[in-house]
Amino acid sequence: MSIDESTGTDPGVATAASTAAGDLTVQTATATGTAAAAVTRYPIAPGYRVNVRSGPGTQYRIVRTLPVGATVPIYCQRPGERVSGPYGTTSLWDNIADGEYVSDAYVKTGSDGYVAPRCS
């Protein structure tokens, strides 16, 4: 079953997230608490507000919603619920912060596979 993780494009709806400017590489600690490493930011599909979940599936609670134009770091990736989005159908979920996941179907990574280490 395919599930749409986006919440629409109504710019009038307030969100708890703020957008980082541009696609940047930043120095930061990984979500698993390991040593600092360079992390690339990836854009969310244009025109989409995407739910951030507490785990790799839509059955997990929504932690926050990313605004239109957001970019996200990917610290690690793991398999989870299969989701369809603008970049295809996948069961890959991206860890963007400690305890925060988005479906890779909404993130432009340029790949259908892993672009970061598997989450432990």
Cα–Cα distance between 67 and 59 in angstroms, integer?
Answer: 21
Which tokens belong to 63? 């932690």
Cα–Cα distance between 107 and 84 in angstroms, integer?
Answer: 12
Instruction: Tell me the pLDDT of the chain averaged across its residues.
Output: 79
Contact indicator for 51, 7 with CB cutoff of 8 Å: yes
Q: Residues in the chain with pLDDT < 70?
A: 1-37
Residue 41: strand, helix, or coil: strand
Q: What is the structure's pLDDT at 39?
A: 84
Q: What is the structure's pLDDT at 36?
A: 53
Q: What is the structure's pLDDT at 23?
A: 35
- Secondary structure letter of residue 20 according to DSSP: P
Question: Angle CA(49)–CA(77)–CA(1) in degrees, nearest 5?
Answer: 60
100 strand-pairing partners: 97
Q: What is the structure's pLDDT at 38?
A: 75
Task: Quickly list DSSP for 79-115.
Answer: EEEEEEETTEEEEEEEEEETTEEEEGGGB--S-SS-S
Q: What is the structure's pLDDT at 37?
A: 60
Q: What is the structure's pLDDT at 5?
A: 55
- pTM, entire model: 0.71
